[in-house]
Structure 1
Amino acid sequence: MTKFDAIKSKVNDAEDFARKIWLAGLGAYGKSIDEVQGRYEKLNTDASKVFDELVEKGSKIEAETKDKIKEKTNVEARVAEVRKKLGLDKPEMEQKVDELSAKIDALTLAVAKLAEKKVKA
């Protein structure tokens, strides 16, 4: 092998090595793009999943709320119906009910005081 052949061989080796460096750089670039794309797709999938879960949860809460409102409305209607049948739907009856409630509260307090005196005695 001549000096020229040796130099040519070294140049070819250097070219091969430079090409391998270039290809490694391209490979690294391609790999990073693949990873970023994979992360983006996972993030997008996760975000869609979370959104769907929130929509489902919101639907359940909405249905429960509607049921509770309907239930409360039914109870209020029944109470109003009973008050009407008993004649308690008139303003003067409400005042009488309030007066009776106040008297019951006063009697309850008086009984509690008597019971307390009896326990002390």
Structure 2
Amino acid sequence: MTTTDTIKGKINEAEDMARKIWLAGLGAYGKSVEEAQGRYEKLSEEASKMFDELVTKGETLEDDARSKFKSTTNDVENRVSDVRKKLGLDAEPADQRIDELSAKIDALTEAVAKLAANK
């Protein structure tokens, strides 16, 4: 083998080694892209799942809040109704009954004032 053949062989070996280094770098890049895509897909699935779970939890909380609000509203309405009955405001129009009660209070106030003046 001649010196030229030896040099050409070394050059070919160097070119082959450079090509392999290039391919290894390209392979590393490809592998990192695949891993990144896999992680992105996994995160995307997890985010979607998490969102669905949060929506379900929100619906449950909303239903509970509506139920409690309705219960509280019914309790308040019942209490108001009881107070109206005790005041006699449910038998006849409320404005008329309030006017009558105001007149009675005014009459009682006058009577108390007269009694206080006579002492």
Same fold (TM over 0.5): yes
**TM class by shorter-chain length?**
0.5 to 0.7
C-alpha change, 1:17 and 1:36, in structure 2 (3 Å) is same
Please state whether the residue corresponding to 2:78 is helix, strand or coil: helix
Cα-to-partner distance string for 1:39-62 (whole Å, 9 max, x where unaligned): 212221221222122111101101
CA shift in 2, pair 1:23/1:100, >3 Å: farther
Deviation of 1:98 after TM superposition, in Å, equals 2.9
The question of whether the paired residues in 2 share the 8 Å contact of 1:88 and 1:94 is answered with: no
Corresponding residue number in structure 1 for 2:66: 62
- Residues in 1 aligned to 2:51 and 2:107: alpha-carbon distance in whole angstroms: 62
Residue correspondence of structure 1 range 1-121 to structure 2 within 5 A: 2-83=6-87, 89-91=91-93, 92-100=96-104
* Aligned counterparts of 2:107 and 2:64: Cα–Cα separation in 1: 46
TM superposition score normalised by structure 2? 0.67
Inter-CA distance 3–58: structure 2 relative to 1 (3 Å threshold): same
Higher RCO (CA-CA < 8 Å; seq separation 6+) = 2
Show CA shifts across 1:41-98 (max 9, x none): 2221221222122111101101101112222333344345445xx5873344321223
CA RMSD of aligned residues (A): 3.2
Report the CA distance shift for 1:36/1:96 in structure 2 as closer, same or farther (over 3 A). same
- Aligned partners of 1:87 and 1:93 also within 8 Å: yes
Q: Percent identity?
A: 10
Q: Max radius of gyration: which structure?
A: 2
The unaligned stretches of length 5 or more in structure 1 are 111-121
Distance 2:16 2:89 in 1: 110
